[in-house]
Amino acid sequence: MPQTILEGTSDLSTLLSDRRYMLVCGNSFRHQPLYTQLASNAAVVFGGFSPNPLYEQVLDGIHIFNGNHCDAIVAAGGGSALDVAKCIKLYCHTVALHDEAQALSNTPSEFNFLLQEKSDTGIPLFAIPTTAGTGSESTRHAVIYYQGVKQSISHPSIVPDVAILEPSLLKSLPLYQKKCTMMDALCQAIESTWSVNSTDESKGFARQAITLIRDNWQDYIIKQSDQAAALMLKAANLSGRAINITATTAPHAMSYKLSALHQLPHGHAVAVCLPEVWEYMLAHLDDCADTRGSTYLSDTLASLAVSLSWYRNLMVQLGLASPVATDKAQELPTLVASVNPERLKNNPVKLSKEILTTLYERILH
Ligand SMILES: NC(=O)c1ccc[n+]([C@@H]2O[C@H](COP(=O)([O-])OP(=O)(O)OC[C@H]3O[C@@H](n4cnc5c(N)ncnc54)[C@H](O)[C@@H]3O)[C@@H](O)[C@H]2O)c1
Q: What percent of the chain has pLDDT over 90?
A: 94
The whole-angstrom separation of Cα 9 and Cα 74 is 12
Of the candidate CATH numbers 2.60.40.10, 2.40.160.40, 1.20.1090.10, 3.40.50.1820, the domain formed by 174-363 belongs to: 1.20.1090.10
Which of these CATH numbers, 3.40.30.10, 3.40.50.1970, 3.40.50.300, 3.90.1150.10, describes 4-169?
3.40.50.1970
Question: Ligand 1 atom 6: the closest Cα is on which residue?
Answer: 134
The finding on whether 178 has its CB within 6 A of some atom of ligand 1 is no
Nearest CA to ligand 1 atom 16: 78
CA atoms within 13 A on the CB side of 356: 24
pLDDT confidence of residue 173: 97
Ligand 1 atom with the shortest distance to the CA of 244: 3
Ligand 1 pocket residue status of 229, Cβ below 6 Å: no
pLDDT of residue 351: 97
Candidates 110, 107, 112, 160; CA nearest to 135 is 160
Tell me the pLDDT of the chain (365 aa) as tens digits: 789 999 999 999 999 999 999 999 999 999 999 999 999 999 999 999 999 899 999 999 999 999 999 999 999 999 999 999 999 999 999 999 999 999 998 787 789 999 999 999 999 999 999 999 999 999 999 999 999 888 999 999 999 999 999 999 999 999 999 999 999 999 999 999 999 999 999 999 999 999 999 999 999 999 999 999 999 999 999 999 999 999 999 999 999 999 999 999 999 999 999 999 999 999 999 999 999 999 999 999 999 999 999 999 999 999 999 999 989 999 999 999 999 998 899 999 999 999 999 999 999 98
R_g over Cα of the chain: 20
- In sequence order, what DSSP letters do the residues of 322-362 get, joined into one string? PPPPSSHHHHHHHHHHHS-HHHHTTSSB---HHHHHHHHHH
CA distance 307 to 299: 13
Mutate to test the pocket of ligand 1, among 149, 157, 177 (most ligand atoms within 8 A of CB): 177
| Spatial separation of the C-alpha atoms in residues 81 and 74, rounded to whole Å | 10
Which residues 6+ apart lie within 8 Å of 299 measured at CB? none
Where are the domains positioned within the chain? Answer: 4-169, 174-363
Task: Report how far ligand 1's centroid is from the alpha carbon of 174 (Å).
Answer: 12
Same topology between domain 4-169 and domain 174-363: no
